[in-house]
Amino acid sequence: MSSSPKLHYKTVFDIPKEELFAPGHGLCAGCTAGTIVKLLLKVAGPNTVIVNATGCVEVSTTTFPYTSWRVPYIHVAFENAAAVASGIEAALKVLKAKGLIDPNKRVNVIALAGDGGTADIGFQALSGTLERGHKLMYVMYDNEAYMNTGIQRSGATPQYAWTTTTPVGKVLRGKIQFKKPVAEIVAAHRIPYVATANPAHFLDMMNKFRRGLEVEGPSFIHVLQPCTTGWRFDPRLGIKIARLATETAMWINWELDYGEFKVTVPVPKRKHVKHYIRLQGRFNHLTDRDIEEIQKMVDSEVERINKVVGKEIIGPVVE
């Protein structure tokens, strides 16, 4: 397998102008899920089947009798987005074998789910799909809680974050447990392509979507999605916070392409995590000492990533 594929989207002018995601959906003002889904459809093109688990994107883009999707779309329950997507992929294979559709026609099957539908509820369906090796792409937009039902904690909620089920009071000060490293768990399935992406680095994200659709076999893209309602920040700051997540190394954009690990957005000079945390209301209760503790966690994670890559791809804290 040839390593380091050529980047398809090099500048903003390479992005297709065709719009397959219609305006008029009900996502919150400033919700970056709109940005992610819009760019995903620009990469995938019209020959695409979207399988959407219950979640923010589903409830807001398909309020009956309206839909914002200009591609075939199916809504399924929280648990089985991956299972339904693998069924669709198998059905397409049969239709091609029977000659009912052109065997050379490329149809993208994309499963789209939030962090609750991936990390918690839909995990066994996802794991089964990856193990069976269906050719589909699974995109997880991670807003770090069940935002659709009212900000309940999920497996992907980071430590110390306030949610309605991990309230801040005398006993509890935000979530106790760590964030589940979903992309790494998926990578352990030895599938062809796993990546983490961030809407602020949109060209990097789109190249990953494209690579995920190209590979023969399952691929998984974990996308950070700042949530204005649940993370408690001003709607205009969504992309800025996403960018800060990478600049502070709270979020590392990496890809694992046929076993080859690469950090796609190097950060030569890292910022202190307080820049990221102090913008969000869900971390309002944290003292400076707590933030230092988070900084230590991030430092050890950066050290681990640098060790895997073999050089200092993410630099020291400067600011």
Partner 1 sequence: MTLQIKRLASWREVPVGGAITQPGNSVNRPTGDWRVFKPIINQDKCVRCYLCWVYCPEPAIKIIDRPYKTSSGREWKMTFEVDYDYCKGCGICVEECPVKAIDFVEEVK
Q: Which of 95, 168, 237, 305 binds partner 1 (CB under 8 A)?
A: 237
Nearest approach, Cβ of residue 280 and partner 1 (Å): 15
Nearest approach, Cβ of residue 75 and partner 1 (Å): 10
Q: Name the residue nearer to partner 1 (CB basis): 12 or 318.
A: 12
- Rounded to 5 degrees, what angle do the CA atoms 299, 190, 146 make? 60
Q: Which stretch binds partner 1 (CB under 8 A): 185-193, 228-236, 271-279, 287-295?
A: 228-236
CA dihedral 262, 267, 273, 275 (to 10 degrees): -140
- Size of site (CB under 8 A) for partner 1: 43
Q: Is 61 in the site for partner 1 (CB under 8 A)?
A: yes
Distance CA 105, CA 216 (A): 15
User: Hey, CA dihedral for 205, 240, 222, 61, is it positive or negative?
Assistant: negative
237's CB contacts (< 8 A; 6+ apart) are: 30, 226, 228, 279
Q: Is 91 in the site for partner 1 (CB under 8 A)?
A: no
3-state helix, strand, coil in the chain (%, to 5): 35, 15, 45
Decide if 148 contacts 230 (C-beta within 8 A).
no
Q: Which of 2, 4, 13, 171 binds partner 1 (CB under 8 A)?
A: 13
Strand partners, 112: 52, 139
For the segment 15-54, give every residue that binds partner 1 (CB under 8 A).
15, 17, 19-27, 29-35, 38-39
Q: Name the residue nearer to partner 1 (CB basis): 72 or 266.
A: 72
In the chain, the DSSP E strands lie at 48-53, 73-76, 108-114, 137-142, 193-197, 219-224, 254-257, 260-263
Mask: binding to partner 1, 151-190, rule CB under 8 A, as x and -?
A: ----------------------------------------
Nearest approach, Cβ of residue 45 and partner 1 (Å): 14
Provide the binding-site residues for partner 1, judged by CB under 8 A.
Answer: 12-13, 15, 17, 19-27, 29-35, 38-39, 61-71, 199, 202, 228, 234-240
